[in-house]
């Protein structure tokens, strides 16, 4: 039987808190396009989560939320700075270019998904020339693609020189809950100069939904029109907002992420293959050759090889210790 438990953190079902809120919100007639009370309540909870008086929108797709953020921060003849393995650079089929009309992406190196500050400084120091797309903003990801977590200070060290240039900052928080569970202080994001933040709902255990937090109010002008044109202003807004109520009201958002992170830790501890990146969130990346990966697949467990050559195992709110142990058993047989 095929096992997708560790293939990604979006292979899990939605958590009960999210589903219950969704079902509860499905009552009676209500106004559309995010003007309903469910959306208002969820937005309040997101504002409380980040302790900021920001604008909040709920959208269906993280890819779209990121690409719309890029388009809001960089013009077509400019570029976004991002880790060279960031999701927007490698896994979104060029969505920033579609939504951003050919906007450029400048990939920066850095170990374990964290941007190397010197590389960022070097990119910022490049002269503005007409034949190149010069940077207009920085895109960050926390937790990173390789399961590490930036500290507040580490992010501040990256955003400070960017803001000093007057450029924008986008934070892809597809796994923000895991970062929070890993020690990242969400209430201080507002001090980092972040203009647009995507709070991941889907990977945190919700039905498809993402919260887009607009810290820079100047960007919020006509944002609903921006979203509508992009196919991301849902008529039935409550379906995207309600899961956040269920997950934020009682802290399930971070609590579930902490469980996912613990499961990753458990898997790392019993992992017979070399672990290649620090396990600070919900992923474990290991050194495994093609033969062994094929054998793993043959045994029914799915896992993907990543751009850096590692094989990735992801945990989620729904990962059980038994499943971790069962996978560990299989891996040990293959090692």
Ranges within 25-54 binding its own copies (CB under 8 A): 26-33
- Name residues contacting its own copies, limited to 201-230 (CB under 8 A): 202, 207-208, 222, 224-230
Among 39, 69, 134, 144, which residue interacts with its own copies (rule: CB under 8 A)?
A: 134
Mapping DSSP to helix (H, G, I), strand (E, B) and coil, where does residue 83 land? strand
- Binding residues for its own copies, rule CB under 8 A, total 77
Among 302, 306, 326, 330, binds its own copies (CB under 8 A): 302
Give CA–CA dist 150/75, Å, rounded: 27
Residue 306 engages its own copies in binding (rule: CB under 8 A): no
- The two tokens of residue 334 are 């293959």
Largest distance between two CA atoms of the chain: 58
Judged by CB under 8 A, the residue of 123, 189, 233, 331 near its own copies is 233
Which among 41-49, 232-240, 262-270, 326-334 is the span making contact with its own copies, rule CB under 8 A?
232-240
DSSP percent split of the chain into helix, strand, coil, nearest 5 = 45, 15, 40
- For its own copies, the closer of residues 98 and 334 by Cβ is 98
Q: Which stretch binds its own copies (CB under 8 A): 58-66, 145-153, 256-264, 275-283?
A: 58-66
Q: Which two tokens stand for residue 230?
A: 């992009």
Tell me whether residue 301 is exposed, middle or buried, using C-beta atoms within 10 angstroms of its C-beta: 0 to 12, 13 to 18, 19 or more.
buried
Instruction: Please identify which residue in 82, 199, 268, 318 interacts with its own copies, judged by CB under 8 A.
Output: 318
Q: Considering the complex, what minimum distance in angstroms separates the CB of residue 77 from its own copies?
A: 4
| Residue in 17, 96, 167, 261 binding its own copies, rule: CB under 8 A | 96
**Dihedrals phi, psi of 324, to nearest 5 degrees:** -60, -45
| C-alpha dist (Å) from residue 215 to 53, 69, 195 | 8, 12, 5
List alpha helices for 176-251, DSSP H: 176-181, 223-229, 238-249
| Rounded least distance, CB 33 to its own copies, Å | 6
User: Among the candidate windows 141-149, 151-159, 200-208, 282-290, which touches its own copies by CB under 8 A?
Assistant: 200-208
By CB under 8 A, residue 322 contacts its own copies: no
DSSP 93-145: TTHHHHHTTS-EEEEE--GGGPPPHHHHHHHHHSPP-TTS-EEEEEEEESS-T
Between 202 and 310, CB nearer to its own copies: 202
Tokens (6 digits) for 205: 């255990």
Q: Which of 43, 45, 86, 92 binds its own copies (CB under 8 A)?
A: 92
Whichever of 30 and 151 has its CB closer to its own copies, that residue is 30
The verdict on 297 binding its own copies (CB under 8 A) reads no
101 scored as a contact of its own copies (CB under 8 A) = yes
């Amino acid at each position: 039987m095929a096992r997708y438990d560790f293939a990604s953190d979006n292979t899990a079902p939605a958590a009960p808190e999210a589903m219950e809120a969704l079902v509860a919100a499905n009552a009676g007639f209500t106004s559309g396009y995010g003007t309903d009370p469910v959306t208002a309540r969820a937005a309040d909870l997101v504002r409380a989560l980040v302790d900021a008086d920001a604008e909040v929108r709920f959208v269906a797709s993280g890819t779209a939320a990121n690409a719309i953020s890029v388009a809001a921060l960089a013009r077509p003849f400019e570029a976004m700075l991002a880790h060279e393995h960031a999701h927007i650079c490698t896994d979104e089929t060029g969505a920033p270019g579609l939504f951003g009309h050919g906007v450029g992406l400048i990939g920066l190196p850095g170990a374990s998904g964290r941007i190397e500050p010197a590389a960022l400084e070097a990119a910022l120091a490049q002269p503005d020339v007409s034949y190149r797309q010069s940077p207009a903003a920085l895109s960050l990801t926390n937790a990173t693609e390789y399961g590490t977590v930036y500290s507040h200070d580490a992010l501040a060290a990256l955003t400070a020189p960017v803001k000093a240039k007057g450029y924008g900052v986008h934070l892809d928080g597809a796994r923000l809950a895991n970062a929070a569970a890993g020690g990242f202080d969400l209430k201080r994001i507002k001090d980092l100069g972040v203009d647009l933040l995507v709070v991941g709902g889907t990977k945190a255990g919700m039905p498809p939904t993402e919260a887009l937090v607009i810290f820079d109010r100047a960007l919020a002008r006509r944002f609903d029109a921006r979203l509508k044109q992009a196919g991301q202003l849902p008529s039935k807004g409550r379906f995207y907002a309600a899961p956040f109520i269920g997950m934020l009201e009682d802290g399930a958002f971070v609590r579930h992420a902490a469980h996912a992170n613990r499961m990753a830790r458990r898997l790392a501890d019993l992992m017979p293959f070399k672990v290649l990146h620090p396990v600070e969130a919900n992923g474990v990346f290991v050194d495994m050759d093609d033969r062994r990966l094929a054998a793993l697949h043959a045994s029914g467990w799915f896992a993907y090889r990543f751009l850096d050559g590692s094989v990735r195992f992801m945990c989620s709110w729904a990962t059980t210790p038994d499943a971790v142990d069962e996978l560990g058993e299989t891996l040990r047989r293959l090692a």
